[in-house]
A = this chain, B = another copy of it.
Amino acid sequence: MNMHSEAITIATHGRGTTEITSEVQRAVAASGIVVGLCNVFIHHTSASLIVCENADPSVRSDLERFAAKLVPDGDPLFEHIDEGVDDMPAHVRSILTQTSLALPIDEGRCSLGTWQGVFLWEHRHTAHRRKITLTLLGR
């Protein structure tokens, strides 16, 4: 059994999704692991991870509108607004999606479905630098 661990930093441009599939695939290739698992972990509570359809951009714009309606910015329900109207909604959106994802590795690549991409979802309106740790286990 081998293991490979590395941290990557992704620059976001404010609220929205950034595909990180190629960064994940590059780490898998560099590790030399052929079969196993690749765990993706984001070190933040106002940005999260999703596996999402990556062919039609309207999927992600629809998703953004759905999230904005489900967890509205400035909802008077929220007391935690120190950093603005998007502060608490960012935490809720993160909790309803993923902080960690474990993807199978097969034939030396993350074995994703035809339409699956891995995305970092920034929930704050301003740009951030987000840290992700990739942990690969296998042989």
Contacts and interface: CB of A to CB of B under 8 A. Distances in A.
Interface of A: 1, 3, 5, 35-37, 39, 41-46, 50-53, 56, 58-59, 61-63, 65-66, 69-71, 77-80, 82, 88, 91-92, 94-104, 106, 111-113, 115-116, 131, 133, 135, 137-139
A103 B42 CA distance: 9
6 contacts: A3-B138, A58-B80, A62-B88, A96-B96, A99-B101, A104-B133
Per DSSP, chain A at the interface is mixed
A80 B102 contact: no
A79 B115 CA distance: 18
A37 B39 CA distance: 8
Given A82-B56, A88-B59, A91-B59, A43 B3 contact: no
B116 A43 contact: yes
A44 to B, nearest CB: 5
Nearest to A70: B70
A132 B43 CA distance: 22
Contact of A35 (B5, B71, B131): B5
A63 to B, nearest CB: 6
Contact of A92 (B5, B63, B95): B63
